[in-house]
Amino acid sequence: MADLGYRSIEVNVVNDTRGNLTIQGPTLGSGNTWVQGEEPTQGASLGQYQGAKWGVSTNDVNGTATAMVQLTGLGSYPVSISFTNDMNGNSNCMLQGNDMVKGTAMQVSTGEMNHSLYNVQLIPGP
């Protein structure tokens, strides 16, 4: 099992769009680290009908686990996925689509306040 630190958030992303997407500009919040094996790689492909799991964690008791990943390849500007689990255990996953991609982000219960999981499905849009 991956080391999720004191607080973490993970996202399962599935590309159900009409083409391949490319990971651009993955960024971490201050003091955060990618969960081992769940790091988005700059320039890597997220192929059509493929999935990926990205996770970020912090060991700071008063810290927030947060990250953002952009995807290019379809549409006139990047699709952005931002995910956060704050110091109070409030988590959020925001999906900003574009003119060719939209999607949904659904929280999955983990039974733990400090560890959050979301399923993100990217579909043709808008």
pLDDT at 93: 98
Spatial distance between the Cα atoms of 96 and 103, rounded to a whole number of angstroms:
8
CA atoms within 13 A on the CB side of 76: 2
pLDDT at 113: 83
pLDDT at 126: 82
Q: Go through the domains of the chain in sequence order and give each one's CATH number.
A: 7-124 (2.60.270.50)
Evaluate if pTM is beyond 0.85: yes
Which parts of the chain sit beneath pLDDT 50? Answer: none
pLDDT at 1: 55
